[in-house]
Amino acid sequence: MRLAGRIIFVLLLWALGFAAAILGVPTTYRWWKHAECWLRGPHYGLRSIPAVQFANERRRGWEEAADSPRRDPGDAWDERRNARMQKRQPGGARLLCVESRGWAGGELGVDQAGDGLRIGYWLEANGEIQLLDDLQWADWDQEGHLLVATRNGELQVRNLDGGDSEVVFEADLFLTVLHRRTMGRSS
């Protein structure tokens, strides 16, 4: 029995080493230094993130809308509802809203969706709703400007003073990446 136990132990060690080589796991020393960082505790900035839709937005001050469907207690990953979140404009009267609309698929692809979800943004002000269908992400800055990332790959700062939305800053990320790739090849 002892010999069989030793053989099994050696085979398990071999399999572990093989898996580490295949998966690109760092050496034991590097792993230990990495694990030591994680094991030091929450005073080093580590904290758990709840399994809930829009977890990042919640940490940035968004609140779940009163008319948002309640989470099913049996839904451990919060996947079976279309949650609605909202955030009031700092110093303003507008309400920025976002809603999950199911899982992303054909039109965007999972890699371009917010946490794998299709999402839609809109503004509410004075009883009117303004759809923001071109947005992939949005939030307010401290001065009440709307910061957005469009589905076309543009970062924008929009000023909403007055009736219309005015773009006061814009950067096209696609052209920036394309320019960097082109510059890298010619060097």
pLDDT at residue 148 is higher than 90: yes
Residues 121, 132 contacting (CB under 8 angstroms): yes
First CA to last CA across the chain, in angstroms? Answer: 65
pLDDT at residue 160 is higher than 50: yes
R_g of the chain computed on alpha carbons: 24
Q: CA 104 → CA 1, 15, 90, 110, 121, distances in Å?
A: 54, 37, 31, 5, 15
pLDDT at residue 127 is higher than 50: yes
pLDDT at residue 187 is higher than 50: no
CA angle 35, 36, 41 (to 5 degrees): 100
- Residues 83-98: pLDDT tens digits? 999 999 999 889 999 9
Strands 128-132 and 117-125: antiparallel
